[in-house]
Amino acid sequence: MIDRLDAELLEQIAGFHDIPTGAYNIRKNSVAAGRNSTEHIEILSKEDKPGIDIRIASGTKNESVHIPVIITEAGIEETVYNDFFVGDDCDVLIIAGCGIHNSGDQKSEHDGVHRFFIGKNSHVKYVERHYGSGEGTGERVMNPHTQVEIGENSVCEMEMVQIKGVDSTVRGMDAVLSANAKIVVTERLMTHGNQKARSDMRIELNGAGSSAQVVSRSVARDASEQVFNPCAVGNNACAAHIQCDSIIMDTAKIRSIPEIAANHPDAQVIHEAAIGRINNDQLLKLESFGMTETEAEEIIIQGFLR
C-alpha cells in the first residue's frame, strides 16, 4: 500500500519509512490508508465530517501517535477535522504533518483543523511538518488551523516546520492556558519562488502562573512573501515571550506584526522581532574557512532553522 513516493513523503514529514509503531492513522488521497489504536490511545473516525478523534487515556506515558497525511494526486481539496482528547497525567508525542506531491496542473489543498483538549498535569509534544514536491504546475496549498486548550499544570510543546515546496499557507493557532499551564511554540519556515505564507497566532494566558514562549524563525528567498502576526494576551499573573526572527534574501518580502496585551497588573508580556539579511561577518567568517558564499549561506540558514 505504501509505495516509493509515499515513503518519501512520509520520511519528510514524519521521519519514518514504514508503518510506525504505536498508534497511527495514515490518510492518503482523502481516504484512510492504515490505522492502529493501542490500549491507551484510541483513534475513531468522525461520524459527521472528515477526520478523526484521538482519545488518549489519563495516565498514558511515553507513547506516540502518528497521523500523517499524504496527497499524491492532483486536484484533491480537502478539509479534515482532527480532535485530540488528552487525559490527565499523560506524557505523549504526537507527530502530524502533511506531504503533497503534485505532478499535475490542478491545485492540491489540505486544510487541517486540529483541536487539542489537554487535561491536568500532562505533557504533550506536537510536531507538525509540511512538505511539498512534484514538478507539476498545480499549486500545493496547506492551511493548518490549531486550537489548544491546556489544563492546569500541563505543558504543550508545539513544533511546526515548513521548509520546502508549499506554495501557499495560512496558518492559524489559538491557545488558551489554565493556571500554571505552559506552551512552547517553535516555528520554522522557509519560502522560495513565489510562495506565500502567513502565520496568525493568539495565545490567551488566563490562568495564574501560566506561561508562553514563542520562537519563530523564518527565511524568505526569491520573491516569496511572509506575514507573521503572533499575539499574546495576559489575563492573569503570567509570563509570555514572543520572538520573531527572519532572514530576508533576494526580492522577498516579510512583515512581522507581533502584538502583546496585558489585562492584569502582574502579566509580563514581551515581544522581540527582527528582519534582516544574513550578517556579513558570518559570511566572511565561513568564507575564511574556505567556503564559497553560497555554501556559507546554506550553513547559516541550516543552523538558523535548526
Partner 1 sequence: MLEVKNLSFSIQESRSNLEIINDISFTLPEGELLVITGPNGGGKSTLARLIMGIAQPTGGRILFDGTDLTDLSVTERARLGIGYAFQQPPRFKGLTVRKLLSLAHGATLPEDECCQYLTNVGLCSKDYLNREVDNSLSGGEVKRIEIASILARSPKLAIFDEPEAGIDLWSFSMLVDTFRRMHAAGERSLIIISHQERLISLADKIMVVDHGIVRAYGSRDEIYPSLMGQFSCGYNTKGEAI
List of residues contacting partner 1 (CB under 8 A)? 217, 245, 279, 281-282, 284-293, 299-300, 302-306
Task: Give the nearest distance from C-beta 306 to partner 1 in angstroms.
Answer: 4
Which candidate, 142, 140, 129, places its Cα nearest to that of 171? 142
3-state class (DSSP) for residue 46: coil
Strand partners, 242: 214, 271
Which residues on neighbouring strands pair with residue 95, listed in sequence order? 66, 127
| Min CB(296)–partner 1 separation in Å | 9
- The least distance separating partner 1 from the CB of residue 221, rounded to whole angstroms, comes to 17
User: Cβ closer to partner 1: 251 or 302?
Assistant: 302
Q: Cα–Cα distance between 185 and 154 in angstroms, integer?
A: 14
Nearest approach, Cβ of 282 to partner 1 (angstroms)?
5
The identity of residue 138, as a single letter, is G
Cell numbers 538558523: residue: 304
Question: Which residue, 81 or 304, has its beta carbon nearer to partner 1?
Answer: 304
Instruction: Quote the cell numbers at residue 294.
Output: 553560497
Residue 254: CA atoms inside 13 Å, Cβ hemisphere, count? 26
Of 39 and 289, nearer to partner 1 (C-beta) is: 289
Closer residue to partner 1 in complex, CB, 62/294: 294
In the complex with partner 1, the residue whose CB is nearer, 2 or 305, is: 305
Query: What is the Cα–Cα distance from 217 to 221, expressed in whole angstroms?
Result: 14
Q: Residue 285 CB, nearest distance to partner 1 (Å)?
A: 5
Joined grid coordinates for residue 59:
495516565
